Amino acid sequence: GAVVSQHPSRVICKSGTSVKIECRSLDFQATTMFWYRQFPKQSLMLMATSNEGSKATYEQGVEKDKFLINHASLTLSTLTVTSAHPEDSSFYICSASPGQGNNSPLHFGNGTRLTVT
Amino acid sequence: AQSVTQLGSHVSVSEGALVLLRCNYSSSVPPYLFWYVQYPNQGLQLLLKYTTGATLVKGINGFEAEFKKSETSFHLTKPSAHMSDAAEYFCAVSGGYQKVTFGTGTKLQVIP
């Protein structure tokens, strides 16, 4: 089946530093990947849609300058949290689909637990 | 526009008992519906999906769900709960462009 790999699984960083999270589709190509954020005891909220070879599309309220997304190849998208603050601490999950249709289910990475101290 | 409502943030069942997790949706276009499961500190795993055709869909681990358009529901069931089913379950709807809206999740507890 379609596999999405996310790295790292956990990261602790100091306030003011930047953190990069990678999302890879291991056995399929993904022109589009999605980044979600999940706060404790809450659902997943879509942050942005990552498009290969073009700029990401951000959801309302998400700071594009703070959450930098790069989708340089058909199998890799990266999310960089710049100048991280404690309120950025969260669980970040990426997803992708091997299909193009609207009914193609998303496959998710295992997520990255970010803790900003 | 689309939305998902999951009734009950926590559900407890005894091992061997029926599991019923409720999901209602709204969508301005014919929906695609999904159930995902999330184990602690992990990503989401697809349990099953409804796109078109048969309204009763079977998924992994013995789960199934029935799409009822008249009730705008897509409830998840399993005849007999197992301890390993303890996790958080998310219902999701997609109306287009793979943009998926998730419900708030239901945490399933299985009591031995």
How many CA atoms within 13 Å lie on the side-chain side of A34? 19
Better-scored residue on pLDDT, B9 or B96:
B9
pLDDT in tens, A44-73: 899 999 988 889 999 999 999 999 999 989
Cβ–Cβ below 8 Å for A111 and B36: no
Other CB atoms within a 10 A radius of the CB of residue A29 amount to 11
The per-residue pLDDT for B13 is 97
- pLDDT value at B96 more than 80: no
Cβ–Cβ below 8 Å for B99 and A43: no
Cα dist from A71 to A37, A50, B26, B95, B104, whole Å: 18, 6, 32, 24, 28
Question: What does the DSSP 8-state code read for residue A62?
Answer: -
Nearest-CB residue to B90 (from A34, A43, A105): A43
The per-residue pLDDT for A30 is 87
Please give the structure tokens belonging to residue A6: 């996310």
* Chain pair A-B, CB pairs under 8 angstroms: 57
Question: What does the DSSP 8-state code read for residue A31?
Answer: S
The C-alpha angle with vertex A30 and arms to B3 and A53, in degrees rounded to 5, equals 105
Nearest-CB residue to B43 (from A46, A102, A109): A109
Tell me the torsion sign for CA atoms A115, B104, B82, B43. Answer: negative
Report the gap between the CA of B98 and the closest CA in chain A (Å): 5
Nearest CA in chain A to B107: A41
Cβ–Cβ below 8 Å for B49 and A109: no
Banded pLDDT at B51 (limits 50, 70, 90): confident
Instruction: Please report the DSSP string for A87-116 in residue order.
Output: GG-EEEEEEE-S--STTSPPEE---EEEEE
Q: How far apart are CA B48 and CA B79, in angstroms?
A: 16
Cβ–Cβ below 8 Å for A103 and B46: no
Amino acid code (one letter) for A108: F
Contact A57, A2 (CB under 8 A): no
Contact A75, A29 (CB under 8 A): yes
Contact A111, A91 (CB under 8 A): yes
Banded pLDDT at B65 (limits 50, 70, 90): very high
pLDDT in tens, A82-110: 999 999 999 999 998 776 665 667 788 88
Cβ–Cβ below 8 Å for A95 and B96: no
Contacting residues of B for A107, CB less than 8 Å apart: 46
Q: Which of A101, A44, A48 is nearest to A70 (CA)?
A: A48
Please give the structure tokens belonging to residue B19: 């599991």
Work out the mean pLDDT of chain B and round it to a whole number.
91
The per-residue pLDDT for A68 is 96
Work out the mean pLDDT of chain A and round it to a whole number.
90
pLDDT in tens, A15-28: 999 999 999 999 88
Taking any CB pair shorter than 8 Å as contact, residues of chain A touching chain B are 4, 6, 9, 32, 34, 42-44, 46, 49, 91, 93, 95, 97, 102-111, 113
The per-residue pLDDT for A53 is 85
Question: A10, A51, A102: best mutation site toward chain B, by most B Cβ within 10 Å?
Answer: A102
